[in-house]
Amino acid sequence: MASHRKSRPTGTRVAGIRTPALATAALTSVALLSQTATAAPTDDDRPSLEEVEKKVGDLYRQAGSATEKYNAAKEKTSKQRKRVDTLLDDVAERTQKLNEAREELGSFASAQYRTGSTVPETATFLLADSPQDYVDRAHLMDRLTGRQKGAVDDYVTQQSETIEKRQEATESLQTLTESQSDLKTAKATVQKKLATARELLSELTAEEKARLAAIEKRKQEEAARKAAELAKQQAEERKRQEEADRQESDASSGSSGSAGAGGTDTETGSTTPDSSYGTKAEKALAFARAQIGKPYVWGATGPDSYDCSGLTQAAWKNAGVTLPRTTYDQVDAGTTVPVSQAQPGDLVFFYDDLSHVGLYIGNGMMIHAPKPGAYVREESIFYDGESSIHSVVRPA
């Protein structure tokens, strides 16, 4: 007869606890502690402050690049919308003329039916009341046939042109739709980059923000030092040029006698700006200075806020010079000169993707609309390092 009692486990008991259970509990505790230790954030997992600064800087530059793409798409959309409106108006006008030509053809058909022009000439002669009546009717039909031919030709031409314009309007509408899509994409990209940058900055502690400000201060001091070096270099170059001009002027005066006194050599190759450029540059700079303190807003062209290319465009517009809307086009709107020969009013472009531009004011300094959260200000052209400078362009 089988026993109803449960068999004892064969494992060894210690103080009333089975050894396998104790081992399992211990291993579980170790595993949990290990997982907790692994999951807990450590200082080594956090990016360094320098890495955060670089990441934020990269995001702002990417947002600047996306802003210029947004500006280009917006400008293209505006132009395309005007073109579509013009084409649609043209198509409507041509359609009206086509309808009028069709009505004219209808009237000719009715007249032809009433005069019996489809009847053979012999029958028409026989049916006429008199020979004179036949002559009059034949003369009228000759004139009517000439007008009919002109009307038919005109109708065919207008019909062909109207079809062509309708096709052109359809294609322009498609291009407009694509431009609007590009505009939407560029806008979303800017917003995403800026949101990521703000999120990174919001996660910094007060101490980290203070350290970041100290790093930024050191960068500004270095930028100011580089600007001072450029200013000194440019001053020395101007002095050498002025001395060379003076010596050449003295030599010219001596060789030409009293008749040549006070003459000026116009072929010295001086880098001194001509008076017309200087006058325009002063107007552009006066406008830019008046905007200092206004906020940077991406896509803005004034008067209450600006992005970088919006500011330079508005400044030179004040001087009577029309610049394109985007940095990509502004860089081709003048003559490229070396940084060492930059003059007040010149445009200074930054980064390989040409995502930023400022207005040179002399002594290594510029006025620019820096980035979201900042305001139009004067700053060294070396604000992000010498390597960030792409080119200098003289626009007028």
368 as an active site residue: the answer is yes
139 as an active site residue: the answer is no
Please, how many CA atoms are within 13 Å of residue 69, restricted to the half-sphere of its CB? Answer: 18
356 as an active site residue: the answer is yes
Q: Which residues are catalytic?
A: 308, 356, 368
